[in-house]
């Protein structure tokens, strides 16, 4: 046991001291922070951006003042400024060619032509943009909206209807969402933020699980392959058994994983508090998380150690870990589906596949939907049973593979090793 | 006292027998040389002793333990395929391996520094392994093997690729272990080193032991093989003698190889009436010659 701990200790320090580790450790919260910050400050950023230049050629009689007034109102608001030029007289053909040319050269962001009969009949507005500049597209709906408002005002005037009246008639009925908790019977008002956290918390839990299991991959593979390719393994095996070595590695890496996730989770909670988000995480979620993480980690690590032991270079290992990675990524790509229907067939199936169970189950558990206890226990039991099986098989392959140099053994050979004494 | 005993040990990999029915024993305070050509099964034998691979048949008794695994902390092993963590510092490396070889925590630092001193590497304590020269790395590896002060030391090609100064210093360390009562199994290709260091020789070929005994026994068995004499007079009669296999002349000196079972006394008796014998000497075969003849001979038998 002392030997296992010594190996674990070395493995832990060795991993923690690499630059790769430090980078990935800091990158994850940093990237999350940046995404959060930019999405929160998008409105602010738009306001500070340089004004968009728009030219409108208006063929509708009497519309120009309305256009000017709605754009003025827009410019005094929070959203980005628009610099507007409206033309309603002169040689339209020539003006139109001239403006289009400016759009082509990028001197004008948008050029709009309003058909003569748009207020009365089914005329169109033609919007010209420069090809290949997707950033300008954000302005298009705003401009459409503003012109529609101007046309609305004109139509009201033409029909002698006060615009305020129409607005009062069309006023949207306000709504409020209240969620009912099955267990406590409490009623809770959902604000906008709450809806976000309701989606974000399960996703964050799954992401944490994925990163926790996934980020150790590279370390366990490099560690095994280094020992093999630099021929340290025989010196090590003169002091410890292959099983002690494997156990030490798993414990060491597990320690790294738990530490990293602890810090990430604490950072996330602290950041959420600071930003005023209400997180409502029941303590049993944390118990489930640790349980699923430890089991999932043990499973993956023993598989990876076995893979590493039969390979001489990281490149060799890539093709072998491919199918495992695909399985791990499956919950990552289908998380919205799982969250929408946590008790659907797809979610249930993935809960019983040992490799995907930790991520899918944590997503389902965090979704707030009730899941039958039997189902949780069954998923844990399948995962739990797969762990000793993987450690046993991984250990056997590791024991033989670690001393084998040269050509990578075939899968059939590895199956033979499982049966050997 | 016997530190290591192999009794009828065999191991096959698929259809090829790497080691078959090998018997071997090493006493405390003795150096046993395990000699043999490439692919003779030396490394396989050592790996079985170290419990890295499991023998198909036979018994291995290490330091009185029936299972080699139980004796691991009392063994020192320098494998032929050896390496260290490249990024780890020298002192750290020694302490780590001492720790997993069961040296108690409070002794780790002292033990590591003591070995650094012995290897003349104290100033390298905080260097990374990858910064060391190859010879220096080999010395650190040797120190790693010995750091738990083993009762049985197994060295696979410990002296390969060392300069003469380091060679002498490692040899003297090996000999000092012997004088302290450590049993040593030394595998090597270098016959003059085996001659210099070993008390006991086991020559293996194709997984079988072909020659075993103390150094003088091994040599003694071949004693009557070659005679070098200085003669005055016509020595042409020597070629006709039935028990002489070959005669090589170099001035007055004549070197004669005797046929199997012939006695050198018989040769002397045949010379005395015909020529004046100035000198007559039995030539001790070197281990190198024994090696070449034994291995070459068994190869000829095999084919």
Q: Which residues in chain A touch residue B82, judged by CB atoms under 8 angstroms apart?
A: 231-232, 234-235
Q: Distance from B88 to chain A by nearest Cα, in Å?
A: 9
Closest by Cα among A122, A259, A279 to A193: A279
Return the residue of A nearest to B92 by Cα: A10
In a domain, B296, yes or no: no
- Token pair, residue A90, equals 């002169």
Q: What sign does the dihedral B264-B265-B270-B272 (CA atoms) show?
A: positive
Query: What integer is the mean pLDDT of A105-123?
Result: 82
Give B300's pLDDT tier (boundaries 50, 70, 90). very low
CA distance B72 to chain A (A): 6
For the entire predicted model, the pTM comes to 0.72
CB pairs under 8 A between A and B: 66
Mean pLDDT score, B87-95? 90
Judge residue B169's burial from the number of C-beta atoms within 10 Å of its C-beta, 0-12 exposed, 13-18 middle, 19 or more buried. middle
Rg (CA), chain B: 24
> What's residue A108's pLDDT?
84
What confidence tens digit (pLDDT) does each residue in A341-360 have?
Answer: 888 888 888 888 888 888 88
Q: Which residues of B touch A237 (CB under 8 A)?
A: 50, 52
Task: Map tokens 């109102």 to a residue.
Answer: A73
* Residues B188 and B75 placed together within one structural domain of the fold: yes
CA distance B36 to A65: 105
Q: Which of B167, B190, B219 is the last residue of a domain?
A: B219
- Which residues of chain A does B51 touch, with a Cβ-Cβ cutoff of 8 Å? 241
Supply the mean pLDDT for chain B: 85
For chain B, the domain total comes to: 2
CB-based contact A235 B52, cutoff 8 Å: no
Residue B303's pLDDT band (cuts 50, 70, 90): very low
| Weakest-pLDDT range from A381-385, B217-221, B253-257, B294-298 | B294-298
User: Residue B250, Cα to own-chain centre: how many angstroms?
Assistant: 34
In this predicted model, what pLDDT tens digit does every residue of A222-260 receive, in sequence order?
888 888 888 888 888 888 888 888 889 888 988 888 888
- For the cut 80, the answer to whether the pLDDT of residue A72 exceeds it is yes
Q: Chain B closest CA to A20's CA: distance in Å?
A: 14
Angle A285-A290-A293 from CA coordinates, rounded to 5°: 115
Could you tell me which chain A residue has the CA closest to the CA of B86? A230
Secondary structure element (H or E) that encloses residue A58, with its range: strand A52-58
Closest CA to A111 of A128, A130, A133, A135: A128
B84: nearest CA partner in chain A:
A232
B6-63: pLDDT as tens digits: 888 898 887 788 888 888 889 999 999 998 888 888 888 998 888 888 888 888 888 8
Residues 6+ apart with CB under 8 A from A75: A81, A82
Q: Please list every residue in chain B whose beta carbon sits closer than 8 Å to the beta carbon of residue A3.
A: 99-100, 102
Percent of chain A scoring above 90 in pLDDT: 2
pLDDT in tens, A353-380: 888 888 888 888 887 777 788 888 999 9
- Three-state secondary structure along B271-290? HCCCCEEEEEEEECCCHHHH
CB A117 within 8 A of CB A148: no
Please give the residue that has the higher pLDDT: either A406 or B1: B1
The pLDDT score that the predictor gives to residue A124 is 85
Within a domain: residue B168? yes
Instruction: Looking at the structure, tell me whether residues B209 and B261 fall in a common domain.
Output: no
Which residue of A lies nearest to B95 if distances are taken between CA atoms? A6
Confidence of residue A279 (pLDDT cuts 50, 70, 90): low
- Is there a contact between B77 and A3 if contact means CB atoms under 8 Å apart? no
Torsion, Cα of B268, B272, B273, B275 (10° steps): 110
Looking at B188, B219, B250, which one is the last position of a domain?
B219
| Domain co-membership, B167 together with B241 | no
Torsion B266-B277-B238-B221 (CA) sign? positive
Q: Does A135 touch chain B (CB under 8 A)?
A: no
Q: How far apart are CA B98 and CA B143, in angstroms?
A: 10
Answer whether residue B293 is part of any domain: no
Provide the percentage of residues in chain A whose pLDDT is more than 70: 89
Sort out which chain A residues have CB atoms less than 8 A from B47's CB and list them.
Answer: 234, 403
**B300 within domain boundaries:** no
Lowest mean pLDDT among A193-197, A228-232, B265-269: A193-197
Same domain, B202 and B95: yes
- Of all residues in chain A, the one with the smallest CA distance to B82 is A231
Domain shared by B91 and B234, yes or no: no
Structure tokens of A189? Answer: 């008002």
CB-count exposure of residue B25 (10 Å: 0-12, 13-18, 19+): middle
Contact B152, B27 (CB under 8 A): no
Structural domain harbouring B9: 2-219
* Mean pLDDT (whole number) for A116-136: 77
- Of A129-138, A165-174, A342-351, B98-107, the least confident: A129-138
Residue B100 to residue A3, Cβ atoms within 8 A = yes
- From the CA of B259, how many Å to the nearest CA of chain A? 47
User: B80-101: buried (b, 16+ CB within 10 Å) or exposed (e) per residue?
Assistant: bebbbbeebbbbbbbbbbbbbb
CB spacing of A6 vs B54 below 8 angstroms: no
Please say whether the beta carbons of B254 and B231 come within 8 A: yes
Taking contacts as CB-CB distances below 8 angstroms, the residues of chain A near B88 are 14
For residue B56, being part of any structural domain is answered with yes
CA-to-CA distance for A121 and B17, rounded, in angstroms?
Answer: 97
At B301, the pLDDT band (50, 70, 90 cuts) reads very low
- Report which of A203, A187, A223, A195 is spatially closest to residue A336, judged by C-alpha positions: A203
Q: How far apart are CA A224 and CA A404, in angstroms?
A: 13
Q: Is B204 in the same domain as B99?
A: yes
Rounded mean pLDDT of B188-194? 83
Is the pLDDT at A86 greater than 50? The verdict is yes
Q: Which residues of A touch B77 (CB under 8 A)?
A: 234-235, 238
Long-range contacts of B260-266, Cβ-Cβ distance < 8 Å, separation of 24 or more: B262/B224, B263/B224, B264/B224, B264/B227
A131, with CB counted inside 10 A (0-12, 13-18, 19+), is exposed
pLDDT at A133: 65
B138 and B66 co-located in one domain:
yes
Residue of chain A nearest B51, judged by CA positions: A238
Nearest to B37 by CA among B209, B205, B287, B213: B205
Residue in chain A closest to B153 (alpha carbons) equals A238
Which CATH number does the domain housing residue B230 bear?
3.30.70
Residues with Cβ within 8 Å of A310's Cβ and at least 6 positions away in sequence, in order, are A320, A397, A401, A404, A408, A409, A414
Strand partners, A159: none
Cβ distance A238 to B77 less than 8 Å, yes or no, reads yes
What was the pLDDT predicted at A42?
61
Domain-located, residue B146: yes
What whole-number distance in Å separates Cα of residue A210 and Cα of residue A204? 10
Which of B69, B100, B144 lies closest to A6 in CB terms?
Answer: B100
> Which residues on A lie below 8 Å from B99 (Cβ)?
3, 6
Whether residue B181 sits in one domain with residue B103:
yes
Round the average pLDDT of chain A to a whole number and report it.
Answer: 81
Sign of CA dihedral A53, A59, A65, A71: negative
**Going from the N-terminus, what domains does chain A have, and what CATH number goes with each?**
50-169 (3.40.190), 191-419 (no CATH)
Residue B292 lies in a domain: no
- On whether both B104 and B73 belong to a single domain, the answer is yes
Q: What pLDDT score was predicted for residue A306?
A: 86
Contact B73 A239 (CB under 8 A): yes
Interface test with A, best of B100, B137, B142, B146 (most A CBs within 10 A): B100
- Poorest-confidence range of A277-286, B44-53, B94-103, B226-235? A277-286
CATH for B133: 3.40.50.300
| Angle in degrees, CA B166, B171, B175, rounded to 5 | 150
Distance from CA of A14 to the nearest CA of B (A): 9
Nearest to A403 among B52, B76, B85 (CB): B52
Distance from CA of B131 to the nearest CA of A (A): 15
Strand partners, B155: B78, B186
- Give the side-chain half-sphere CA count within 13 A for B50: 29
pLDDT band at A49 (very low <50, low <70, confident <90, very high): low
Kindly list the residues from chain A whose CB atom is less than 8 angstroms away from the CB atom of residue B54: 421
A40 falls in which pLDDT band (50, 70, 90)?
low
Residue B191 lies in a domain: yes
Residues 210-269 of A with CB under 8 A from B: 226, 230-232, 234-241
B157 and B33, same domain (yes or no)? yes
Residue B185 has pLDDT above 90, yes or no: yes
Q: Is the pLDDT of residue B221 over 70?
A: no
Pairing of strands B200-205, B183-188: unpaired
Residue among A232, A403, A421 whose CB faces B85 most closely: A232
- Preferred mutation among A15, A18, A239 to probe B, highest tally of B CBs within 10 A: A239
Question: Per-residue pLDDT tens for A322-333?
Answer: 888 888 888 888
C-alpha count within 13 angstroms, C-beta hemisphere, residue A190 = 14
Same domain for B64 and B174, yes or no, is yes
ipTM over 0.85: no
- Position A41 scores a pLDDT of 67
Cα A296 to Cα A384: distance, rounded to the nearest angstrom: 9
A101: left (phi over 0), alpha (psi -120 to 50) or beta: alpha
Are B56 and B134 within one domain?
Answer: yes
Answer whether A208's CB lies under 8 Å from A265's CB. yes
> Given pLDDT bands bounded at 50, 70 and 90, which one contains residue B175?
very high
Q: Which residue has the higher pLDDT, A181 or A58?
A: A58
Burial of B236 (0-12, 13-18, 19+ CB in 10 A): exposed
Residue by residue, what is the 3-state secondary structure of chain B?
CEEEEEEEEEEEECCEEEEEEEEEEEECCCEEEEECCCCCCHHHHHHHHCCCCCCCEEEEEECCECCHHHHHHHEEEECCCCCCCCCCEHHHHHHHHHHHCCCCHHHHHHHHHHHHHHCCCHHHCCCEHHHCCHHHHHHHHHHHHHCCCCCEEEEECCCCCCCHHHHHHHHHHHHHHHHCCCEEEEEECCHHHHHHHCCEEEEEECCEEEEEEEHHHHHHCCHHHEEEEEEECCCHHHHHCCCEEEEEEECCEEEEEECCCCCHHHHHHHHCCCCEEEEEEEECCCHHHHHHHHHHHHHHHHC
Would an 8 Å CB–CB cutoff place A10 in contact with chain B? yes
Q: Which helix (H) or strand (E) holds A178?
A: strand A177-180
Q: What is the mean pLDDT of residues A19-36?
A: 79
């Amino acid at each position: 046991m002392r030997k296992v701990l010594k190996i674990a200790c070395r493995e832990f320090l060795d991993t923690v001291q690499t630059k790769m580790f430090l980078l990935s450790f800091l990158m994850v919260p940093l990237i999350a922070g940046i995404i959060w910050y930019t999405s929160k400050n998008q409105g602010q950023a738009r306001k500070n951006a340089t004004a968009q230049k728009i030219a409108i050629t208006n063929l509708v009689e009497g519309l120009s003042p309305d256009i000017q007034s709605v754009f003025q109102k827009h410019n005094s608001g929070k959203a980005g400024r628009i610099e507007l030029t409206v033309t309603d007289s002169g040689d339209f053909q020539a003006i139109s060619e001239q403006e289009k040319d400016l759009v082509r050269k990028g001197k004008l962001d948008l050029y709009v032509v309003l058909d003569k009969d748009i207020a009365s009949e089914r005329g169109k507005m033609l919007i010209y943009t420069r090809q290949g500049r997707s950033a300008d597209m954000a302005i298009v709906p705003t401009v459409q909206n503003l012109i529609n408002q101007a046309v609305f005002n004109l139509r009201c005037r033409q029909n002698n209807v006060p615009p305020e009246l129409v607005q009062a008639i069309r006023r949207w009925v306000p709504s409020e969402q209240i969620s009912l908790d099955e267990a406590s019977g409490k009623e809770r008002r959902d604000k906008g933020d709450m809806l976000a956290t309701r989606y974000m918390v399960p996703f964050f839990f799954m992401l944490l699980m994925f990163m926790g299991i996934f980020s150790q991959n590279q370390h366990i593979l490099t560690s095994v392959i280094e020992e093999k390719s630099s021929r340290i393994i025989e010196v090590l095996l003169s002091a410890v058994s292959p099983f002690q070595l494997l156990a030490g590695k798993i414990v060491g890496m597990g320690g790294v994983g738990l530490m990293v996730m602890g810090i990430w989770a604490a950072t996330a909670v602290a950041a959420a508090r600071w930003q005023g988000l209400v997180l409502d995480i029941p303590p049993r979620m944390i118990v489930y998380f640790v349980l699923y993480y430890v089991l999932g980690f043990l499973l993956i690590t023993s598989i990876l150690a076995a893979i590493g032991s039969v390979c001489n270079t990281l490149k060799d290992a890539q093709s072998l870990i491919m199918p495992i990675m695909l399985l791990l990524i499956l919950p990552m790509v289908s998380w919205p589906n799982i969250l929408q229907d946590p008790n659907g067939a797809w979610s249930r199936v993935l809960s019983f596949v040992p490799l995907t169970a930790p991520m899918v189950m944590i997503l389902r558990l965090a979704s707030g939907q009730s899941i039958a206890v039997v189902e949780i226990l069954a998923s844990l039991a399948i995962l739990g049973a797969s762990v000793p099986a993987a450690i046993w098989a991984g250990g056997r392959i590791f024991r033989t593979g670690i001393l084998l140099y040269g050509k990578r053994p075939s899968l059939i050979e590895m199956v033979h090793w499982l049966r050997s004494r | 006292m016997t530190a290591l005993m192999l009794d009828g040990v065999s191991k096959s990999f698929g259809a090829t027998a790497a080691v078959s029915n090998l018997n071997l024993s090493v006493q405390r305070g003795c150096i046993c040389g395990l000699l043999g050509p490439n692919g003779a099964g030396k490394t396989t034998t050592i790996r079985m002793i170290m419990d890295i691979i499991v023998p198909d048949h036979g018994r291995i008794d290490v330091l009185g333990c029936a299972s080699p695994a139980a004796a691991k902390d009392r063994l020192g092993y320098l494998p032929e395929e050896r390496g260290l963590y490249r990024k780890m510092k020298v002192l750290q490396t020694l302490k780590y391996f001492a720790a997993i070889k069961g040296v108690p925590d409070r002794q780790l630092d002292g033990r590591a520094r003591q070995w650094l001193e012995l290897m003349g590497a104290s100033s390298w304590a905080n260097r990374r392994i990858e910064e060391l020269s190859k010879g220096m790395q080999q010395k650190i590896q040797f120190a790693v093997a010995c750091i738990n002060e083993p009762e049985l030391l197994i060295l696979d090609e410990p002296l390969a690729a060392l300069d003469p100064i380091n060679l002498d210093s490692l040899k003297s360390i090996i000999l000092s272990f012997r004088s302290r009562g450590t049993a040593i199994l030394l595998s090597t290709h270098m016959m003059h080193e085996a001659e210099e260091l070993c008390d006991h020789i086991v020559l293996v070929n194709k997984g079988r032991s072909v020659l075993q005994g103390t150094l003088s026994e091994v040599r003694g068995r071949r004693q009557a093989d070659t005679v070098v004499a200085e003669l005055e007079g016509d020595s042409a009669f020597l070629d006709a003698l039935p028990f002489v296999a070959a005669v090589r002349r170099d001035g007055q000196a004549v070197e004669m190889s005797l046929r199997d079972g012939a006695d050198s006394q018989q040769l002397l008796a045949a010379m005395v009436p015909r020529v004046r014998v100035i000198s007559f000497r039995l030539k001790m075969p070197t281990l190198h010659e024994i090696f070449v003849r034994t291995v070459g001979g068994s190869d000829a038998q095999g084919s």
